[in-house]
Structure 1
Amino acid sequence: MKSGLNMGLLRWLAIAATASTALALTPEGLISAPRRAEAIPNPSGDVAVFSQSQYSFETHETTSKWNLLDLKSGDIKLLTNDSDVSEIVWLGSDNSTVLYVNGTNADIPGGVELWVSDISDFANGYKAASLPASFSGFKVATIDSGDVRYVAYAQSYANGTAYNEQLAAKPLSSARIYDSIYVRHWDSYLTTRFNAVFSGTLKKTESNGKATYKAEGGLKNLVSPVKNAESPYPPDSSSSDYNISPDGKWVAFKSKAHDLPRANYTTSYIFLVPHDGSKTAVPINGPDSAGTPKGIKGDAGSPAFSPDSKKIAYWQMEEESYEADRRTVYVYTLGSTETIPSLAKGWDRSPDTVKWADEDNLIIGVEDSGRSRLFSLPADASDNYKPKNFTDGGVVSSFYQLPDSTYLVTSTAIWTSWNVYIASPEKGVIKTLGTANEIDPELKGLGPHILDEFHFEGNWTDIHAFVIYPENFDKSKSYPLVYYIHGGPQNSWLDSWSTRWNPKVFADQGYVVVSPNPTGSSGYGEELQDAIQNNWGGLPYEDLVKGWEYVNENFDYIDAENGVAAGASYGGFMINWIQGSDLGRKFKALVSHDGTFVADAKVSTDELWFMQHDFNGTFWGNRDNYRRWDPSAPERILKFSTPQLIVHSDLDYRLPVAEGLSLFNILQERGVPSRFLNFPDENHWVLNKENSLVWHQQVLGWLNKYSGVGKSNKNAVSLEDTVVPVVDYNP
């Protein structure tokens, strides 16, 4: 107890020490602050490259550049501000030569070019290849001859030809015809095009002691020979879905099961194919594969070759219709027909990233208790092995091994958008090289002191919650509550930066934000996560009620009686559920973003496995389960009375816009103060910078209006700050 009191005192001293210099994080500051990507080290571990973009509300344009980070001093210097440079990859063992993607093509409209340059004289590189479409996600391997073999992805036609939007013929009719489900997915209608991994080679030649690289041969589509395969898989379309072996001979890629209906199953396979495409790709874990573990039929991903190119590590889920099932690491030996062994299968966590440390050990990224941490894992670990983490706070976004077997880690936290440090399994975090809150004026004053956490007794187990403090926080004062409800539903609030639902932006309006992780939350073990199945409005809601009561009774500086609540996706559903529940009367205002409202409308989603898993069956066979947690039930509608803002965009096909309109119609007819915010060009997320500003102005303005913050804080956002006209035909 004494130790806890001392830690609390230190936290308050830290808050007091920084209060005089802290600046409020405004919506404009959040959106226009620099956004930095992962730091990618050169082979010797001397420097790393990273990209940076920044939006200006003065010019309404985004500028981009690439920087060099000195891994000894932490100094940052400009490499290039050429906005056409979209990717940079280090070539072979050369510490200064890079391959970069020029996002334009002088000869082929809509294509890209590959250039080779020395970082000491970046502007004077040379073109190594001209590619006929918009390729990205480049990965390379240098073979014994010095040649560079690479893979990248682009959209593909069924015949294997890369799709070039600028050169594609325009159809005379806009009709779309479908004979199978999966008509649309997330924000796009499916077409006959799909993502595909292509392979290519750059031939190395030497003259007068200087090496040059030029394209040799054409590109080979490694995915299209397998009918219905696609890699990388939407909506993320991440290059983590494929990899090239260090010896350049093999490529592994993930695809949703090509032999099953995509809308009904999460099943994925890891395919193996020669880099030259001389054989058709085959799944190593398919239903007819010799080594497929019995009963393992779920999603799979993150294929990674061992340093000697003899093994592939990947993760896979067990269930074939549960997108949030626990992942387990497997290690396949090339050419083996033995059952593929699993690692640490009894461990109650779910790895999402897999890399090799050496031939005998792996490093895995894992969501764990509100963070995303790195763990070390032996490549022959038994089922009961418990991996050891060597990073702690924040969320790791990437990591690369350095020559001394330490790791260059890029991460974020609630208090910083970019944090780069060196860590090792033996010593943990060794050295911080750079963090955005110490670099960017927009983030001045942010730090770990803005964040706290607590546990409370939920319906059936202890529940974790984050607390985020406002600018110049004073515990002797009282601040209205923002009750933050996460999406998923199998998801969680993490100690991570967000450019959309950033809790610090909400807090700096004059609130204390509480972000609970109730039943259904990930990163706390299977039991907590899986208990939300067929229980959307049950245990999670009861946890949230108990969390509100705990805050109201235990935090004198939080005014829960004048609080507000907001959530998106499943969090939007929960806000809609709260509106018709007793908890809804505890809030002055609500905001739901892309939440379901009418139970029967759930069948209009794209990924049918999602609803059929979470509601224990089909829409026709288990209709009562779908309706059990129906926010639109008549008896619930009669309780609606709390002012509510509804946000729903036209391109959200996972949760169609009719859901938001239906709720708005009901609130209006019931006479409940309400507003509908719609973006015709956004999907499940509001990504356009100008749209994001309007989103923040409306969401914060709505909450501020009803909580009273707008009157007590002269810098708080107002609904009138938005220049978009409001349509109102009420008499």
Structure 2
Amino acid sequence: MIKSIVIATALAATTASADGFIGKVSPKLSSDIMTPEVLWQMGRLGSVNLAPNGKTAVYSVSYYSKEQNKSHSVLYLLDMKSKATQQLTTSENSERGAIYINNGQNIAYLFGGQVWMMNADGNNRVQISHEKDEISDFLFSPDSKRVILIKTVPQNTSIQQNDADLDKASGMVINDLMYKHWDHYVTTAPHPFVATFNGNSITDAEDIMKGEPYECPMEPFGGVEQLAWSPDGSQIAYTCRKKAGLKYAISTDSDIYLYNLANKTTRNLCKPEGYVAPEVKVTESLERQAINSPHSTVDCNMGYDQNPQFSPDGKYVAWSSMMRDGYESDRSRLCVYKLATGKKTYVTESFESGVNEFLWQPDSKSLYFTGCWHGKTNIYATNLQGRVKQLTNETADYVLVSLNATGKGVLAKRQSMSHPDELFEIIPQGKSVSIQQLTDENKPIFDQLTMGEVKERWVKTIDGKEELVWVIYPPHFDANKKYPALLFCEGGPQSPVSQFWSYRWNFQMMAANGYIVVAPNRRGLPGFGMEWLEEISGDYTGLCMQDYLSAIDDVAKEPYVDKEHLGAVGASFGGFSVYWLAGHHKGRFKALIAHDGIYNTQQQYVETEEMWFPNWDLGGAPWERQNREIRKAYAESPHLYVDKWTAPILCIHGQRDFRIEYTQAESAFAAARLRGIPAQMLLFPDENHWVLQPQNGILWQRTFFRWLDRWLKK
């Protein structure tokens, strides 16, 4: 149980930087209903670092300017006792990644692609790195005498370098797969460089992966959490998938490597020395191939292994580990590796969901971690014997930041469907837990807004199981009125519909526009056991789609729902879901919106970059016709059911989305128009799988609701 919740807030100060960006803001809103413009005014809490003495913390907040169409990151100092905040930076460019160094005397941070340092009070700012290449991230050793710098190096495995006399040529000669990734062409790779720091300057940076065409951190989302210093600073543990080209494209097998600074040697903690992977068929799922079979008595950590952390006593390295190669959504387990013996222990096996972040406790005998269960991401603890204990039980999503000053609790960011991230301190106290809010970055805004109520609802599925559905009601909801409703289709395809706050797929924004939102945790989502999670693999259009329909049908029975005006919306796999439901909804929906969705699965197979995705989820290549399961998967492609489309559809896509190419939206839009179905397309030439620029984000919101209002509010 929760013993106490103490909420402390700081007064919001309005501080303009040199370029007109605002720090904490106190806008006067025209009403208590959220708009896209209000959403984009909110400050977004970033990194947080606690001072060694526990008295202060430095953190970043990003603000977005609609007028300048860009973001700006500002650093703040938080007094942990009074909760008062002080803005440390007001410069034209962003400052980020701030951490305490030199035992808390200084703060190091990134500015203009280099590492800078200031006093702990924000004074005396000096540049301490002068690298020729831009630094994207950094990590100081515990004694602050060395630092890892993340910089990019040339990578020409798939795209060969053009002739020297053709320096203005834009053409690319491509020889292998993985020539593109997420939103860019692969001509460089991030590498960790180790440099020395004498207290005034960073020098002698040396690439610890020199000559290797691999990534560390791993793209597209990896940061310095994928590396760790040993407590004595003599070793570095790092994450790397040492594959390139086709081998990279079909595999999720990354490992944890241990680099010794004294003799400059590297060893793999995941694989035995001399390990050779079995040959695989690259156009079929790795699920039942030899690489995922127990071909030896040695645990070879075949899936994603990442984010290592040394125990405080230096005897162990823990990391997040997936069991199977080729399965990006496998359950993440917490692996603890004993350096003296090489023994691996998985300490979260009794937790039937995946581990997100984790932290060692000071005794080196137990760890904190977060994980999603029943649509909520809470904080847990485990010892080295695998005894797991739940510490928080809230309708929220937590993200661990660090231990608190005493080491007997943690600092964590917390968000919900009704509020973005804020910083909290969580302290276990026997059978209870104390939860104290430390920041309230957007208090002046939220004090003026009315949020819609969020309710947990359990719905019976067609096979007699229970499905968790979040229902979000409009502000000032009146049960005597009728409201149009939206079915939200989740992406992933195996990402949870937990208590997340989104700056685009924002449920409160949808509710503020007068819609009841129905957000199911359908088949294929984590937090309900492995059977529920894996029923989607190889079956994109089976029970998971029936779960969507069960959810909307159940809520539509309520007298306050206008069942004649229902819509379905979703992105990524959610966009695929919308395209498929367009041909199978049997008149339920009067408006559809698909963002970055798969319209043609055969087309998708040869267009995407990370081939393990369609291999695992669809079974393999569409030309593998001898495999009945593969034939069945492609037979359910949404494009084969366009003849049954009836509902007006909006197709949205980013042209820099290499995960799901924009040609999918163009094809769906063209098909709808050719069939005489009302359709609209919103293309973003400069956005990827997400919409990141402020004006594009507002255009997205306005287009989204104009389309829905046109068809659902008649």
Please state how far the C-alpha of 1:666 moved relative to its aligned partner: 0.8
Q: 1:419 aligns with which of 419, 422, 447?
A: 422
Equivalent residue of 1:223, what SS? coil
Per the alignment, residue 127 of structure 2 pairs with: 127
**Closer, same or farther in 2 for the Cα pair 1:58/1:125, shift >3 Å?**
closer
Per the alignment, residue 229 of structure 2 pairs with: 244
Per the alignment, residue 218 of structure 1 pairs with: 204
For 1:613-632, list aligned pairs within 5 A.
Answer: 613-621=616-624, 622=627, 623-632=630-639
For 1:633-652, list aligned pairs within 5 A.
Answer: 633=640, 636-652=641-657
Equivalent residue of 1:267, what SS? coil
Corresponding letter in the other structure for 1:171: D
Please state how far the C-alpha of 1:393 moved relative to its aligned partner: 2.9
For 1:116-515, list aligned pairs within 5 A.
Answer: 116-120=117-121, 122-143=122-143, 147-157=144-154, 171-191=167-187, 193-203=188-198, 213-215=199-201, 217-225=203-211, 227-258=212-243, 261-275=247-261, 278-286=263-271, 288=273, 293-294=298-299, 296-336=301-341, 338-358=342-362, 359-381=364-386, 385-390=387-392, 392-404=394-406, 405-426=408-429, 427-437=432-442, 439-441=443-445, 444-445=448-449, 450-460=453-463, 461-515=465-519
Corresponding letter in the other structure for 1:151: I
Please state how far the C-alpha of 1:57 moved relative to its aligned partner: 2.7
Which residues of structure 1 form unaligned runs of 5+? 1-19, 104-111, 160-167, 204-212, 712-731
Per the alignment, residue 49 of structure 2 pairs with: 40
Contact 1:300 1:315 in 2 (8 A): yes
**Closer, same or farther in 2 for the Cα pair 1:698/1:443, shift >3 Å?**
farther
**Closer, same or farther in 2 for the Cα pair 1:66/1:200, shift >3 Å?**
same
Contact 2:271 2:299 in 1 (8 A): no
Per the alignment, residue 66 of structure 1 pairs with: 75
Contact 1:416 1:446 in 2 (8 A): no
Cα distance between partner residues in 2 of 1:625 and 1:443? 53
Q: 1:590 aligns with which of 589, 592, 600?
A: 592
Contact 1:140 1:151 in 2 (8 A): yes
Which residues of structure 2 form unaligned runs of 5+? 1-28, 157-163, 276-295
Corresponding letter in the other structure for 1:252: A
Per the alignment, residue 7 of structure 2 pairs with: none
For 1:571-582, list aligned pairs within 5 A.
Answer: 571-582=574-585
Contact 1:456 1:463 in 2 (8 A): yes
Superposed CA deviations along residues 110-158 of structure 1, whole A, max 9, x for unmatched, are xx443332232x2323333322222133222233xxx522213121136
Superposed CA deviations along residues 288-329 of structure 1, whole A, max 9, x for unmatched, are 379994363111111111112221100211110111011111
Equivalent residue of 1:600, what SS? helix
Superposed CA deviations along residues 670-717 of structure 1, whole A, max 9, x for unmatched, are 000001110111111111111111111111110111011xx7xxxxxx
Contact 1:600 1:626 in 2 (8 A): no
Per the alignment, residue 539 of structure 1 pairs with: 543
Please state how far the C-alpha of 1:642 moved relative to its aligned partner: 0.3
Equivalent residue of 1:123, what SS? coil
For 1:705-720, list aligned pairs within 5 A.
Answer: 705-708=710-713
Please state how far the C-alpha of 1:430 moved relative to its aligned partner: 2.5
Cα distance between partner residues in 2 of 1:299 and 1:520? 19
Please state how far the C-alpha of 1:48 moved relative to its aligned partner: 1.2
**Closer, same or farther in 2 for the Cα pair 1:116/1:528, shift >3 Å?**
same
Cα distance between partner residues in 1 of 2:167 and 2:379? 49
Identity of aligned residues (%): 26
Please state how far the C-alpha of 1:21 moved relative to its aligned partner: 11
Equivalent residue of 2:559, what SS? coil
Superposed CA deviations along residues 540-598 of structure 1, whole A, max 9, x for unmatched, are 11111111211122x22222321211000100011011110134x11110000111112
Higher relative contact order (CA 8 A, sep 6+): 2
Equivalent residue of 1:281, what SS? strand
Cα distance between partner residues in 1 of 2:101 and 2:333? 33
Contact 1:284 1:292 in 2 (8 A): no
Per the alignment, residue 78 of structure 1 pairs with: 87
Please state how far the C-alpha of 1:60 moved relative to its aligned partner: 4.2
Please state how far the C-alpha of 1:346 moved relative to its aligned partner: 4.2
Contact 2:235 2:260 in 1 (8 A): yes
Cα distance between partner residues in 1 of 2:73 and 2:155? 35
Equivalent residue of 2:509, what SS? helix
Superposed CA deviations along residues 22-76 of structure 1, whole A, max 9, x for unmatched, are 8111111112222221332111211211112222334545444211222222222
**Closer, same or farther in 2 for the Cα pair 1:586/1:412, shift >3 Å?**
same
Cα distance between partner residues in 1 of 2:202 and 2:413? 35
Equivalent residue of 1:666, what SS? helix
Q: Once structures 1 and 2 are overlaid, which stretch shifts more, 42-51 or 622-631?
A: 622-631
Cα distance between partner residues in 2 of 1:261 and 1:61? 37
Equivalent residue of 2:706, what SS? helix
Cα distance between partner residues in 2 of 1:467 and 1:436? 27
Contact 2:31 2:448 in 1 (8 A): yes
Contact 1:251 1:272 in 2 (8 A): yes
Cα distance between partner residues in 1 of 2:129 and 2:175? 40
Using structure 1 for the length normalisation, give the TM-score. 0.84
Per the alignment, residue 210 of structure 1 pairs with: none
Please state how far the C-alpha of 1:170 moved relative to its aligned partner: 8.2
Per the alignment, residue 727 of structure 1 pairs with: none
Please state how far the C-alpha of 1:446 moved relative to its aligned partner: 5.1
Equivalent residue of 1:261, what SS? helix
Contact 2:539 2:633 in 1 (8 A): no
Q: Once structures 1 and 2 are overlaid, which stretch shifts more, 570-579 or 37-46?
A: 37-46
Please state how far the C-alpha of 1:351 moved relative to its aligned partner: 0.5
Superposed CA deviations along residues 422-441 of structure 1, whole A, max 9, x for unmatched, are 1024443421223345x142
Contact 2:622 2:634 in 1 (8 A): no
Corresponding letter in the other structure for 1:628: A
Per the alignment, residue 6 of structure 1 pairs with: none
Corresponding letter in the other structure for 1:356: W
Cα distance between partner residues in 2 of 1:611 and 1:60? 35
Cα distance between partner residues in 1 of 2:222 and 2:300? 27
Superposed CA deviations along residues 438-479 of structure 1, whole A, max 9, x for unmatched, are x142673356x6321111011332111111122222223221
Corresponding letter in the other structure for 2:182: W
For 1:88-103, list aligned pairs within 5 A.
Answer: 88-94=98-104, 96-103=105-112
Following TM superposition, the consecutive aligned residue runs of length 4 or more in structure 1 with deviations greater than 6 angstroms are 289-292
Cα distance between partner residues in 2 of 1:614 and 1:500? 26
